[in-house]
Structure 1
Amino acid sequence: MTRLTAIAALCLVLVAGGAYWLTAGSAKAPDLPFAANAQDADVDTSSIVEMNLGNPDAPVTVIEYASFTCPHCADFHANQFKQLKANYIDSGKINFIHRDVYFDRFGLWASMVARCGGKDRFFGIISMIYDQQKDWIGSGDAVGIAERLRKIGKVAGLDAAQVDACLADQDKAKTLVAWFQQHADADNIDSTPSLVINGEKYSNMPYAELSAIIDEKLAE
Protein backbone atom coordinates (compact mmCIF):
# COMPACT_ATOMS: atom_id res chain seq x y z
CA MET A 1 0.00 0.00 0.00
CA THR A 2 1.41 3.41 -0.93
CA ARG A 3 1.32 6.45 1.33
CA LEU A 4 -1.47 8.01 -0.75
CA THR A 5 -3.49 4.79 -0.64
CA ALA A 6 -3.21 4.78 3.13
CA ILE A 7 -4.28 8.41 3.29
CA ALA A 8 -7.29 7.68 1.10
CA ALA A 9 -8.30 4.66 3.15
CA LEU A 10 -8.09 6.62 6.40
CA CYS A 11 -9.42 10.03 5.40
CA LEU A 12 -12.00 9.77 2.63
CA VAL A 13 -15.70 9.73 3.50
CA LEU A 14 -18.59 9.16 1.16
CA VAL A 15 -20.94 11.96 0.21
CA ALA A 16 -24.07 9.96 0.98
CA GLY A 17 -27.09 12.14 1.49
CA GLY A 18 -25.22 15.17 0.17
CA ALA A 19 -28.19 16.63 -1.67
CA TYR A 20 -30.33 16.33 1.46
CA TRP A 21 -28.05 18.06 3.95
CA LEU A 22 -27.16 20.78 1.45
CA THR A 23 -30.74 21.68 0.63
CA ALA A 24 -31.89 21.22 4.21
CA GLY A 25 -29.33 23.75 5.44
CA SER A 26 -27.83 21.39 8.00
CA ALA A 27 -25.07 22.91 10.11
CA LYS A 28 -22.99 19.78 9.97
CA ALA A 29 -22.18 17.45 7.10
CA PRO A 30 -22.39 13.75 7.93
CA ASP A 31 -19.20 11.71 8.02
CA LEU A 32 -20.27 8.36 6.65
CA PRO A 33 -17.77 5.58 5.95
CA PHE A 34 -17.51 3.87 2.61
CA ALA A 35 -20.00 1.07 2.26
CA ALA A 36 -17.20 -1.22 1.13
CA ASN A 37 -13.43 -1.33 1.18
CA ALA A 38 -12.26 1.04 -1.55
CA GLN A 39 -9.29 -1.24 -2.17
CA ASP A 40 -11.55 -4.17 -3.01
CA ALA A 41 -10.21 -5.73 -6.19
CA ASP A 42 -13.76 -6.53 -7.21
CA VAL A 43 -14.69 -2.86 -7.69
CA ASP A 44 -15.33 -2.38 -11.40
CA THR A 45 -13.66 0.89 -12.42
CA SER A 46 -14.33 0.57 -16.15
CA SER A 47 -17.03 3.27 -15.96
CA ILE A 48 -14.50 5.96 -15.00
CA VAL A 49 -13.60 8.13 -17.99
CA GLU A 50 -9.94 9.00 -18.53
CA MET A 51 -9.78 12.79 -18.87
CA ASN A 52 -7.34 13.77 -21.60
CA LEU A 53 -6.48 16.63 -23.91
CA GLY A 54 -4.38 16.67 -27.07
CA ASN A 55 -3.68 13.79 -29.41
CA PRO A 56 -4.39 10.33 -27.95
CA ASP A 57 -2.13 8.85 -30.64
CA ALA A 58 0.81 11.18 -29.93
CA PRO A 59 4.22 9.57 -29.32
CA VAL A 60 4.43 11.17 -25.86
CA THR A 61 1.85 10.85 -23.10
CA VAL A 62 2.08 13.08 -20.03
CA ILE A 63 -0.01 12.03 -17.04
CA GLU A 64 -0.47 14.51 -14.22
CA TYR A 65 -1.51 13.16 -10.83
CA ALA A 66 -3.04 16.05 -8.90
CA SER A 67 -5.27 16.80 -5.94
CA PHE A 68 -7.81 19.61 -6.15
CA THR A 69 -6.94 20.60 -2.56
CA CYS A 70 -3.17 20.71 -3.22
CA PRO A 71 -1.77 24.29 -3.52
CA HIS A 72 1.20 23.06 -5.57
CA CYS A 73 -1.24 21.47 -8.03
CA ALA A 74 -3.11 24.75 -8.37
CA ASP A 75 0.22 26.46 -9.07
CA PHE A 76 1.13 23.81 -11.66
CA HIS A 77 -2.20 24.34 -13.40
CA ALA A 78 -1.73 28.12 -13.46
CA ASN A 79 1.79 27.90 -14.84
CA GLN A 80 3.27 24.70 -16.30
CA PHE A 81 -0.05 23.36 -17.56
CA LYS A 82 -0.93 26.55 -19.43
CA GLN A 83 2.44 26.49 -21.18
CA LEU A 84 2.09 22.78 -21.94
CA LYS A 85 -1.31 23.43 -23.45
CA ALA A 86 -0.07 26.25 -25.65
CA ASN A 87 3.10 24.53 -26.82
CA TYR A 88 2.34 20.81 -26.87
CA ILE A 89 -1.31 19.94 -26.20
CA ASP A 90 -3.15 22.23 -28.61
CA SER A 91 -0.71 21.36 -31.39
CA GLY A 92 -1.28 17.63 -30.87
CA LYS A 93 2.34 16.90 -30.00
CA ILE A 94 1.41 15.11 -26.78
CA ASN A 95 -1.46 13.33 -25.10
CA PHE A 96 -2.14 14.93 -21.70
CA ILE A 97 -4.06 13.04 -19.01
CA HIS A 98 -5.27 14.45 -15.69
CA ARG A 99 -5.75 11.86 -12.94
CA ASP A 100 -7.37 12.92 -9.70
CA VAL A 101 -5.73 12.16 -6.36
CA TYR A 102 -7.90 12.12 -3.24
CA PHE A 103 -6.08 13.29 -0.13
CA ASP A 104 -9.42 14.04 1.52
CA ARG A 105 -13.17 14.08 0.97
CA PHE A 106 -13.08 17.66 -0.32
CA GLY A 107 -10.83 16.69 -3.21
CA LEU A 108 -13.22 13.85 -3.95
CA TRP A 109 -16.19 16.21 -3.93
CA ALA A 110 -14.39 18.58 -6.29
CA SER A 111 -13.69 15.69 -8.64
CA MET A 112 -17.33 14.62 -8.59
CA VAL A 113 -18.42 18.14 -9.52
CA ALA A 114 -15.75 18.41 -12.24
CA ARG A 115 -16.82 15.09 -13.74
CA CYS A 116 -20.50 15.95 -13.47
CA GLY A 117 -20.48 17.76 -16.81
CA GLY A 118 -18.73 14.96 -18.68
CA LYS A 119 -15.47 15.06 -20.56
CA ASP A 120 -16.34 18.13 -22.64
CA ARG A 121 -16.67 20.34 -19.55
CA PHE A 122 -14.13 18.67 -17.27
CA PHE A 123 -11.05 20.78 -18.01
CA GLY A 124 -13.04 24.00 -17.96
CA ILE A 125 -14.45 23.13 -14.54
CA ILE A 126 -11.13 22.07 -13.06
CA SER A 127 -9.64 25.38 -14.20
CA MET A 128 -12.28 27.11 -12.09
CA ILE A 129 -11.65 24.73 -9.18
CA TYR A 130 -7.90 25.34 -9.23
CA ASP A 131 -8.20 29.09 -9.83
CA GLN A 132 -10.65 29.47 -6.93
CA GLN A 133 -9.03 26.87 -4.67
CA LYS A 134 -8.45 29.17 -1.68
CA ASP A 135 -11.96 30.58 -1.95
CA TRP A 136 -13.92 27.32 -2.08
CA ILE A 137 -11.81 25.61 0.57
CA GLY A 138 -12.20 28.66 2.81
CA SER A 139 -11.94 27.79 6.50
CA GLY A 140 -12.48 24.10 5.81
CA ASP A 141 -16.11 23.81 6.86
CA ALA A 142 -17.73 20.93 4.97
CA VAL A 143 -21.10 22.53 4.29
CA GLY A 144 -19.51 25.75 3.03
CA ILE A 145 -17.11 23.85 0.80
CA ALA A 146 -19.89 21.78 -0.74
CA GLU A 147 -22.01 24.87 -1.33
CA ARG A 148 -19.16 26.73 -3.02
CA LEU A 149 -18.40 23.71 -5.21
CA ARG A 150 -22.07 23.61 -6.18
CA LYS A 151 -21.80 27.27 -7.21
CA ILE A 152 -18.78 26.51 -9.38
CA GLY A 153 -20.78 23.76 -11.07
CA LYS A 154 -23.69 26.12 -11.68
CA VAL A 155 -21.42 28.81 -13.14
CA ALA A 156 -20.03 26.12 -15.45
CA GLY A 157 -23.53 25.49 -16.77
CA LEU A 158 -24.72 22.61 -14.60
CA ASP A 159 -28.10 22.90 -12.91
CA ALA A 160 -28.45 22.52 -9.15
CA ALA A 161 -30.26 19.20 -9.33
CA GLN A 162 -27.55 17.78 -11.58
CA VAL A 163 -24.77 18.82 -9.21
CA ASP A 164 -26.62 17.49 -6.17
CA ALA A 165 -27.17 14.16 -7.90
CA CYS A 166 -23.46 13.93 -8.72
CA LEU A 167 -22.42 14.76 -5.15
CA ALA A 168 -24.82 12.19 -3.72
CA ASP A 169 -23.71 9.34 -6.01
CA GLN A 170 -22.25 6.86 -3.51
CA ASP A 171 -21.38 4.24 -6.13
CA LYS A 172 -19.50 6.79 -8.22
CA ALA A 173 -17.54 8.00 -5.18
CA LYS A 174 -16.51 4.49 -4.22
CA THR A 175 -15.55 3.68 -7.81
CA LEU A 176 -13.50 6.87 -8.15
CA VAL A 177 -11.51 6.05 -5.02
CA ALA A 178 -10.85 2.49 -6.21
CA TRP A 179 -9.82 3.86 -9.64
CA PHE A 180 -7.46 6.37 -8.03
CA GLN A 181 -5.89 3.72 -5.82
CA GLN A 182 -5.34 1.32 -8.71
CA HIS A 183 -3.49 3.92 -10.76
CA ALA A 184 -1.59 5.42 -7.81
CA ASP A 185 -0.33 1.99 -6.80
CA ALA A 186 0.60 1.06 -10.38
CA ASP A 187 2.58 4.28 -10.91
CA ASN A 188 3.95 4.47 -7.34
CA ILE A 189 2.48 7.92 -6.72
CA ASP A 190 3.34 9.31 -3.28
CA SER A 191 3.03 13.08 -3.76
CA THR A 192 1.26 15.68 -5.87
CA PRO A 193 1.68 16.95 -8.43
CA SER A 194 3.48 13.97 -9.90
CA LEU A 195 4.08 13.39 -13.60
CA VAL A 196 4.37 10.17 -15.54
CA ILE A 197 5.87 10.71 -18.99
CA ASN A 198 5.84 7.69 -21.27
CA GLY A 199 5.77 5.45 -18.22
CA GLU A 200 8.55 7.20 -16.27
CA LYS A 201 7.66 9.02 -13.04
CA TYR A 202 8.87 12.55 -12.30
CA SER A 203 8.35 14.97 -9.43
CA ASN A 204 7.02 18.47 -9.92
CA MET A 205 9.46 20.64 -11.86
CA PRO A 206 9.76 24.03 -13.58
CA TYR A 207 8.35 24.28 -17.09
CA ALA A 208 11.79 24.57 -18.73
CA GLU A 209 12.86 21.20 -17.30
CA LEU A 210 9.55 19.59 -18.23
CA SER A 211 9.74 20.94 -21.77
CA ALA A 212 13.27 19.60 -22.17
CA ILE A 213 12.18 16.11 -21.12
CA ILE A 214 9.24 16.16 -23.53
CA ASP A 215 11.40 17.41 -26.39
CA GLU A 216 13.92 14.64 -25.73
CA LYS A 217 11.18 11.99 -25.81
CA LEU A 218 9.63 13.49 -28.96
CA ALA A 219 13.01 13.21 -30.67
CA GLU A 220 13.43 9.51 -29.83
Structure 2
Amino acid sequence: MKAVYFGGAAALILALTACGGTGDSGNGSASSADLNAPLEQIAAPNGGDWTQVVEQTPEGGFRMGNPNAPVKLVELGSLTCSHCAAFSEEGAPQLENEYVKSGQVSFEFRNFVRDPLDIAAALLTRCGGATPFFKITDQMFAAQAQYMQRAGALDAATQQRLQALPQQQLPAEYARAAGLVDFVKMRGVPESKANACLADQAEMQKLVSIVNTANAQYPGIPGTPAFIINGNLVPDAASWEQLEPALREALK
Protein backbone atom coordinates (compact mmCIF):
# COMPACT_ATOMS: atom_id res chain seq x y z
CA MET A 1 0.00 0.00 0.00
CA LYS A 2 1.45 3.34 -0.98
CA ALA A 3 1.98 6.08 1.58
CA VAL A 4 2.54 9.80 1.67
CA TYR A 5 5.14 10.98 4.17
CA PHE A 6 4.57 14.20 6.05
CA GLY A 7 7.52 15.93 7.66
CA GLY A 8 7.63 17.51 11.10
CA ALA A 9 7.28 16.25 14.62
CA ALA A 10 4.24 14.13 13.87
CA ALA A 11 5.85 12.31 10.94
CA LEU A 12 2.43 11.75 9.41
CA ILE A 13 2.10 8.69 7.21
CA LEU A 14 -1.12 8.56 5.28
CA ALA A 15 -2.32 5.38 3.64
CA LEU A 16 -3.85 5.94 0.20
CA THR A 17 -6.81 3.74 0.98
CA ALA A 18 -9.90 3.81 -1.18
CA CYS A 19 -13.31 4.90 0.04
CA GLY A 20 -15.87 2.10 -0.19
CA GLY A 21 -15.60 -1.67 -0.11
CA THR A 22 -16.51 -4.32 -2.61
CA GLY A 23 -18.70 -7.34 -2.78
CA ASP A 24 -22.37 -8.22 -2.93
CA SER A 25 -24.93 -7.21 -0.34
CA GLY A 26 -25.48 -10.80 0.77
CA ASN A 27 -22.50 -11.00 3.12
CA GLY A 28 -22.89 -13.50 5.94
CA SER A 29 -25.33 -16.38 6.28
CA ALA A 30 -27.97 -14.98 8.60
CA SER A 31 -31.49 -15.26 7.20
CA SER A 32 -34.08 -12.51 7.24
CA ALA A 33 -35.73 -14.34 10.15
CA ASP A 34 -32.45 -14.24 12.07
CA LEU A 35 -32.16 -10.50 11.47
CA ASN A 36 -35.59 -9.93 13.02
CA ALA A 37 -35.03 -12.13 16.06
CA PRO A 38 -34.95 -10.17 19.33
CA LEU A 39 -31.61 -9.98 21.09
CA GLU A 40 -31.11 -11.13 24.64
CA GLN A 41 -30.55 -8.06 26.81
CA ILE A 42 -27.57 -7.52 29.09
CA ALA A 43 -28.47 -4.85 31.62
CA ALA A 44 -26.29 -1.76 31.83
CA PRO A 45 -25.05 -0.70 35.29
CA ASN A 46 -27.49 1.21 37.50
CA GLY A 47 -30.30 0.84 34.99
CA GLY A 48 -28.39 2.90 32.45
CA ASP A 49 -28.07 2.84 28.68
CA TRP A 50 -25.07 1.15 27.09
CA THR A 51 -24.95 3.76 24.32
CA GLN A 52 -24.02 6.33 26.97
CA VAL A 53 -21.00 4.29 28.07
CA VAL A 54 -18.13 5.62 25.92
CA GLU A 55 -14.41 5.43 26.52
CA GLN A 56 -11.18 5.68 24.59
CA THR A 57 -9.45 2.37 23.96
CA PRO A 58 -5.74 1.55 24.19
CA GLU A 59 -5.80 1.17 20.40
CA GLY A 60 -6.70 4.86 20.05
CA GLY A 61 -10.35 4.51 19.06
CA PHE A 62 -13.51 5.32 20.98
CA ARG A 63 -15.77 2.49 22.10
CA MET A 64 -19.49 2.72 22.81
CA GLY A 65 -21.26 0.06 24.81
CA ASN A 66 -20.59 -2.88 27.07
CA PRO A 67 -16.80 -3.30 27.31
CA ASN A 68 -17.41 -7.01 28.01
CA ALA A 69 -19.86 -7.51 25.15
CA PRO A 70 -19.52 -10.95 23.53
CA VAL A 71 -19.30 -9.31 20.10
CA LYS A 72 -16.83 -6.48 19.64
CA LEU A 73 -17.27 -4.48 16.43
CA VAL A 74 -14.62 -2.06 15.21
CA GLU A 75 -15.02 0.33 12.28
CA LEU A 76 -12.01 1.74 10.49
CA GLY A 77 -13.54 4.89 9.09
CA SER A 78 -12.56 8.09 7.30
CA LEU A 79 -14.33 11.41 7.73
CA THR A 80 -13.67 12.24 4.06
CA CYS A 81 -15.15 8.98 2.77
CA SER A 82 -18.68 9.16 1.38
CA HIS A 83 -19.31 5.46 2.05
CA CYS A 84 -18.44 6.00 5.72
CA ALA A 85 -20.90 8.91 5.80
CA ALA A 86 -23.55 6.67 4.27
CA PHE A 87 -22.95 4.04 6.94
CA SER A 88 -23.23 6.69 9.66
CA GLU A 89 -26.60 7.74 8.29
CA GLU A 90 -28.04 4.35 7.35
CA GLY A 91 -26.43 1.87 9.72
CA ALA A 92 -25.33 3.61 12.89
CA PRO A 93 -28.84 4.28 14.28
CA GLN A 94 -29.88 0.62 14.07
CA LEU A 95 -26.46 -0.56 15.25
CA GLU A 96 -26.66 1.64 18.33
CA ASN A 97 -30.36 1.33 19.16
CA GLU A 98 -30.69 -2.41 18.65
CA TYR A 99 -27.28 -3.97 19.03
CA VAL A 100 -25.25 -1.71 21.33
CA LYS A 101 -28.20 -1.01 23.64
CA SER A 102 -28.67 -4.75 24.08
CA GLY A 103 -25.24 -5.04 25.67
CA GLN A 104 -24.45 -7.85 23.24
CA VAL A 105 -22.32 -5.69 20.89
CA SER A 106 -19.82 -2.94 21.56
CA PHE A 107 -18.93 -0.50 18.78
CA GLU A 108 -15.52 1.11 18.44
CA PHE A 109 -14.70 3.75 15.84
CA ARG A 110 -11.05 4.13 14.86
CA ASN A 111 -10.18 7.06 12.62
CA PHE A 112 -8.43 5.71 9.52
CA VAL A 113 -7.11 9.01 8.19
CA ARG A 114 -6.38 9.39 4.48
CA ASP A 115 -5.59 13.08 3.82
CA PRO A 116 -4.99 16.41 5.62
CA LEU A 117 -8.68 17.34 5.70
CA ASP A 118 -9.46 13.93 7.20
CA ILE A 119 -6.81 14.51 9.87
CA ALA A 120 -8.31 17.93 10.63
CA ALA A 121 -11.81 16.49 11.01
CA ALA A 122 -10.53 13.62 13.16
CA LEU A 123 -8.59 15.93 15.47
CA LEU A 124 -11.67 18.08 15.99
CA THR A 125 -14.08 15.20 16.64
CA ARG A 126 -11.63 13.79 19.19
CA CYS A 127 -11.04 17.21 20.77
CA GLY A 128 -13.76 16.92 23.42
CA GLY A 129 -12.80 13.44 24.56
CA ALA A 130 -15.02 10.39 24.89
CA THR A 131 -18.42 11.76 25.90
CA PRO A 132 -19.26 13.83 22.77
CA PHE A 133 -17.19 11.78 20.33
CA PHE A 134 -19.89 9.71 18.62
CA LYS A 135 -22.41 12.55 18.46
CA ILE A 136 -20.01 15.01 16.87
CA THR A 137 -18.63 12.33 14.55
CA ASP A 138 -22.13 11.59 13.25
CA GLN A 139 -22.74 15.32 12.83
CA MET A 140 -19.46 15.67 10.96
CA PHE A 141 -20.47 12.86 8.61
CA ALA A 142 -23.85 14.50 8.05
CA ALA A 143 -22.09 17.73 7.02
CA GLN A 144 -19.43 15.98 4.94
CA ALA A 145 -20.68 17.13 1.53
CA GLN A 146 -20.56 20.76 2.61
CA TYR A 147 -17.04 20.80 4.03
CA MET A 148 -15.69 18.63 1.23
CA GLN A 149 -17.17 21.06 -1.28
CA ARG A 150 -15.59 24.04 0.47
CA ALA A 151 -12.19 22.34 0.60
CA GLY A 152 -12.46 21.37 -3.05
CA ALA A 153 -13.33 24.90 -4.12
CA LEU A 154 -10.11 26.55 -2.91
CA ASP A 155 -8.81 29.01 -5.49
CA ALA A 156 -5.46 28.54 -7.20
CA ALA A 157 -3.70 31.12 -5.02
CA THR A 158 -4.80 29.39 -1.82
CA GLN A 159 -3.80 25.99 -3.16
CA GLN A 160 -0.38 27.33 -4.08
CA ARG A 161 0.02 28.83 -0.60
CA LEU A 162 -0.89 25.53 1.03
CA GLN A 163 1.57 23.62 -1.11
CA ALA A 164 4.36 25.84 0.22
CA LEU A 165 3.56 25.16 3.89
CA PRO A 166 5.19 22.51 6.10
CA GLN A 167 2.88 19.55 5.73
CA GLN A 168 2.24 19.18 9.46
CA GLN A 169 0.48 22.57 9.27
CA LEU A 170 -1.94 21.46 6.58
CA PRO A 171 -4.65 19.94 8.81
CA ALA A 172 -5.20 23.26 10.61
CA GLU A 173 -5.21 25.19 7.33
CA TYR A 174 -7.71 22.82 5.74
CA ALA A 175 -9.88 22.90 8.86
CA ARG A 176 -10.21 26.64 8.61
CA ALA A 177 -10.68 26.65 4.84
CA ALA A 178 -13.42 24.02 5.07
CA GLY A 179 -15.21 25.77 7.93
CA LEU A 180 -14.57 22.99 10.44
CA VAL A 181 -13.41 25.29 13.23
CA ASP A 182 -16.70 27.18 13.00
CA PHE A 183 -18.52 23.84 12.79
CA VAL A 184 -17.20 22.62 16.15
CA LYS A 185 -17.55 26.06 17.75
CA MET A 186 -21.29 25.76 17.14
CA ARG A 187 -21.16 22.44 18.99
CA GLY A 188 -19.49 23.63 22.15
CA VAL A 189 -15.78 23.49 21.29
CA PRO A 190 -14.19 26.92 21.89
CA GLU A 191 -12.02 28.21 19.06
CA SER A 192 -8.95 28.28 21.29
CA LYS A 193 -9.43 24.61 22.15
CA ALA A 194 -10.06 23.68 18.51
CA ASN A 195 -6.84 25.42 17.49
CA ALA A 196 -4.91 23.62 20.22
CA CYS A 197 -6.29 20.26 19.08
CA LEU A 198 -5.37 20.99 15.46
CA ALA A 199 -1.78 21.70 16.57
CA ASP A 200 -1.50 18.61 18.81
CA GLN A 201 1.39 16.66 17.31
CA ALA A 202 1.00 13.77 19.77
CA GLU A 203 -2.63 13.31 18.75
CA MET A 204 -1.63 13.40 15.07
CA GLN A 205 0.89 10.66 15.79
CA LYS A 206 -1.82 8.64 17.50
CA LEU A 207 -3.92 8.85 14.33
CA VAL A 208 -0.92 7.70 12.30
CA SER A 209 -0.39 4.79 14.67
CA ILE A 210 -3.99 3.65 14.22
CA VAL A 211 -3.47 3.51 10.44
CA ASN A 212 -0.09 1.81 10.65
CA THR A 213 -1.29 -0.78 13.17
CA ALA A 214 -4.38 -1.59 11.10
CA ASN A 215 -2.33 -2.01 7.94
CA ALA A 216 0.08 -4.31 9.77
CA GLN A 217 -2.67 -6.43 11.34
CA TYR A 218 -4.96 -6.54 8.31
CA PRO A 219 -2.88 -6.29 5.11
CA GLY A 220 -4.81 -5.27 2.06
CA ILE A 221 -7.67 -3.39 3.72
CA PRO A 222 -9.83 -2.83 0.62
CA GLY A 223 -11.25 0.54 1.61
CA THR A 224 -13.21 2.43 4.19
CA PRO A 225 -15.34 1.72 6.00
CA ALA A 226 -13.76 -1.58 7.00
CA PHE A 227 -15.20 -3.64 9.85
CA ILE A 228 -13.58 -5.98 12.34
CA ILE A 229 -15.63 -8.41 14.43
CA ASN A 230 -13.90 -10.03 17.39
CA GLY A 231 -10.50 -9.38 15.84
CA ASN A 232 -11.35 -10.62 12.33
CA LEU A 233 -11.69 -8.38 9.29
CA VAL A 234 -15.14 -8.85 7.75
CA PRO A 235 -14.83 -9.33 3.98
CA ASP A 236 -17.06 -7.41 1.57
CA ALA A 237 -18.91 -5.39 4.22
CA ALA A 238 -18.97 -1.67 3.49
CA SER A 239 -22.66 -1.10 4.24
CA TRP A 240 -25.12 -1.95 6.99
CA GLU A 241 -26.92 -4.36 4.67
CA GLN A 242 -23.66 -6.27 4.30
CA LEU A 243 -22.53 -5.97 7.91
CA GLU A 244 -25.66 -6.89 9.86
CA PRO A 245 -25.72 -10.57 8.80
CA ALA A 246 -22.10 -10.91 9.94
CA LEU A 247 -23.04 -9.43 13.32
CA ARG A 248 -25.93 -11.84 13.68
CA GLU A 249 -23.68 -14.75 12.76
CA ALA A 250 -21.20 -13.69 15.44
CA LEU A 251 -23.98 -13.54 18.04
CA LYS A 252 -25.02 -17.17 17.51
TM-score (structure 1 length as normaliser): 0.76
Counterpart for residue 35 of structure 1? 9
CA spacing shift, 1:215–1:175, aligned 2, 3 Å: closer
Q: How far apart are the structure 2 equivalents of 1:207 and 1:172?
A: 30
Aligned length: 187
Q: Which has the higher helix share?
A: 1
CA spacing shift, 1:48–1:34, aligned 2, 3 Å: farther
CA-to-aligned-CA distance 1:29-78 (integer Å, 9 cap, x gap)? xxxx2336457xxxxxx977430111110110111111000000000110
Counterpart for residue 176 of structure 2? 146
Structure 1 runs not aligned, ≥5 long: 14-32, 40-45
Give the alignment partner of residue 114 of structure 1, picking from 122, 125, 140.
Answer: 125
CA spacing shift, 1:80–1:176, aligned 2, 3 Å: same
Give the alignment partner of residue 64 of structure 1, picking from 55, 75, 83.
Answer: 75
Counterpart for residue 36 of structure 2? none
Q: How far apart are the structure 2 equivalents of 1:168 and 1:36?
A: 10
CA spacing shift, 1:144–1:63, aligned 2, 3 Å: closer
| 1:87 has 2:87 as partner | no
Q: Contact (CA 8 Å) 2:117, 2:174: kept in 1 or not?
A: no
Q: Contact (CA 8 Å) 1:138, 1:145: kept in 2 or not?
A: no
Q: Contact (CA 8 Å) 1:128, 1:152: kept in 2 or not?
A: no
- % identical equivalent positions: 28
Equivalent positions of 1:68-217 (< 5 A) are 68-140=79-151, 141=154, 143=173, 145-147=175-177, 148-188=179-219, 189-202=221-234, 203-217=236-250
CA-to-aligned-CA distance 1:117-149 (integer Å, 9 cap, x gap)? 001011111011100001112242474643511
RMSD, aligned CA: 2.2
CA spacing shift, 1:208–1:136, aligned 2, 3 Å: closer
SS at match of 2:9: coil
SS at match of 1:138: helix
CA spacing shift, 1:206–1:38, aligned 2, 3 Å: closer
Bigger Cα Rg: 2
Q: Which moved more, 1:131-140 or 1:175-184?
A: 175-184
CA-to-aligned-CA distance 1:175-194 (integer Å, 9 cap, x gap)? 32123211232123341011
Structure 2 runs not aligned, ≥5 long: 14-56, 155-169
Q: How far apart are the structure 2 equivalents of 1:90 and 1:116?
A: 25
CA-to-aligned-CA distance 1:64-104 (integer Å, 9 cap, x gap)? 11100000000011011221111101221201110111110
